Amino acid sequence: MSGKFDDGAAWSKLLSVHAVMMHRLEEMLQSKYRISHGEFEVLLRLSWSTDQRMRIRELADASVITRSGMSRLVDRLENAGLVQRETAIEDARGAYAILTSAGRERLDAAEASNIALVRESFLSLYKEDELGQMVEFWTRFFNHPSPEPDS
């Protein structure tokens, strides 16, 4: 993809792997559970947190999209009955998104399918020590300071 610097292949191929995998996951989640991958990740994060609740801001910060995007994403989940909004007692400006039992059920099913598909399409191709190798690579990435934009 990104041309003449030969080991840019490691990057450009990563781009393609991501694109293919996301395409498969999105299609599965949409057709079987009527949720997008972004919505899935929000449900997942809620399920991880104590009391199944998080502030909109927290959700946005932990995610790719902005606060306004998250506000509307939560709207959709709320309309679908998967999440419930509640204004924060300790700070009336804020709102919690809370996983409903319907949301919990939908998530459990979607998560199982998601894991299965990731295993089947990706993880199963690699031995355990190879996956460990990948984890080490990505960990190194996150420990590296982000470069200053130079203009």
Choose the contact partner of 129 out of its own copies, DNA, none; CB within 5 to 8 A by kind. none
The size of the interface with DNA (CB under 7 A), counted in residues, is: 26
Using CB under 8 A, which residues numbered 82 to 101 contact its own copies? none
56-92 CB burial, b ≥16 within 10 A, e <16: bebbbeebeeeeeebbebbeebbeeebbbeeeeeeee
For residue 2, state whether it binds its own copies (rule: CB under 8 A): yes
Closest CB 102 distance from DNA, rounded Å:
18
Using CB under 8 A, which residues numbered 6 to 25 contact its own copies? 7-11, 13-21, 23-24
For residue 57, state whether it binds DNA (rule: CB under 7 A): yes
Q: How far is CA 45 from CA 15, 17, 50, 88, 113, in A?
A: 25, 24, 10, 18, 17
Closest CB 52 distance from its own copies, rounded Å:
15
Closest CB 75 distance from DNA, rounded Å:
7
Encoding tokens for residue 82? 């998967």
Taking CB under 7 A as the criterion, the residue among 68, 101, 133, 139 binding DNA is: 68
Q: How far is CA 57 from CA 53, 85, 141, in A?
A: 12, 13, 25
Closest CB 64 distance from DNA, rounded Å:
6
**Rounded Cα–Cα distance for residues 74 and 70 (Å):** 6
For residue 38, state whether it binds DNA (rule: CB under 7 A): yes
Using CB under 7 A, which residues numbered 121 to 150 contact DNA? none
**Rounded Cα–Cα distance for residues 92 and 28 (Å):** 38
